[in-house]
Amino acid sequence: MSPRPPVLACAALIVASTLLAGCSTDTPRRVVTVTADPESPTATASDEATPASAVDSDVVEHAGNKYRVVTLPLAHWDVRVQWPEADGIMLRDFLEQQPEIEVATNAGIFSDDLTPGGLLIADGEELHGLNLREGGGNFHLLPNAVFAVNDDGTAQVVESHAFDATGVTQATQSGPALLLDGEVHPEFNEGSANLAVRNGVGVSPDGQTVYLAISLSLTNFWDFAGLFSDELGVEDALYLDGDISSLWVDGDGEPGPVDGPYAGIITATERQ
């Protein structure tokens, strides 16, 4: 995520003359590109994603929008949260360092100094603390939440104040929460003109499956939450970030020069 003014970075996309509330307009923004084919690494966000990979990656339609959804049963996939470098890292450099990774997406909102906006736990070690402060921007659009993977092989999305680190091996905090206990965030409005490319993470009700999703067209928070609840059967989901986001799957080809730098990355590697 590119450095921004000294507040937590809020994910936003300026579309025509529409200005999204609470988001800085000082830095030029881009529309996220999602690779549709290894031979076409510059496919636009409107293209359907069909990577040549064993990863369960589908294009799902909801409320007139298309989303790329990666389904990760934890019995078969090792899902981790990583903060590989203190000053951020480009996605292509990160993948070059760890070629075994088969799925990668930026792990949440972070600050202008390229530190996570809130909690980040990697392999059982807390690298950045929980953030319960009040403030502006998407991260502080309460309730926000923590996505966590536990040592018992399950995952969860839990409201930040209710988070308990006991048994947690991987975690990232972001905001706003999209869904908690099946309820849409109270500040979301159906038909909202707050449109952006967005990525997020959800967990199945039994905690056994993680879903990563990114919109392939501009979407609002209400519809993005509806993707998880109506199409994926998810009751708890978390917004990760907006127009700087990417969701890479093995077979997509090398990420582009604008995919990063990221302060946190959610990865998946097939269990052997």
With 0-12 / 13-18 / 19 or more C-beta atoms within 10 angstroms meaning exposed / middle / buried, residue 28 is exposed
What per-residue confidence (pLDDT) applies to 87?
A: 87
**Sheet strands side by side (includes 177-180):** 56-62, 65-73, 209-215, 199-203, 236-241, 177-180, 183-184
- What is the C-alpha end-to-end distance of the chain, expressed in Å? 32
What per-residue confidence (pLDDT) applies to 224?
A: 98
> What tokens were used for 94?
């990160």
Task: Write the CB contacts of 190 (distance below 8 Å, at least 6 apart in sequence).
Answer: 222
Q: Are 241 and 118 in contact (CB under 8 A)?
A: no
Q: Are 115 and 129 in contact (CB under 8 A)?
A: no
What per-residue confidence (pLDDT) applies to 243?
A: 82
Stated pTM of the model: 0.83
What per-residue confidence (pLDDT) applies to 26?
A: 27
What per-residue confidence (pLDDT) applies to 50?
A: 45
What per-residue confidence (pLDDT) applies to 52?
A: 54
∠ CA 158-22-203, rounded to 5°: 20
Residues of the chain with pLDDT under 50: 1-47, 49-51
Other beta carbons within 10 Å of 65: 18
Integer-rounded Cα Rg, in Å, for the chain is 17
∠ CA 66-159-270, rounded to 5°: 55
**Average pLDDT of the residues of the chain:** 85
Question: What is the spatial distance between Cα 251 and Cα 247, in angstroms, rounded to a whole number?
Answer: 12
The string of DSSP codes covering 213-246 is: EEESS-B-HHHHHHIIIIIT--SEEEEEESTT--
The string of DSSP codes covering 12-62 is: ---BTTB--TT---SS---PPP--SBTTBTT--TTSPP--SSSSEEEEEEE
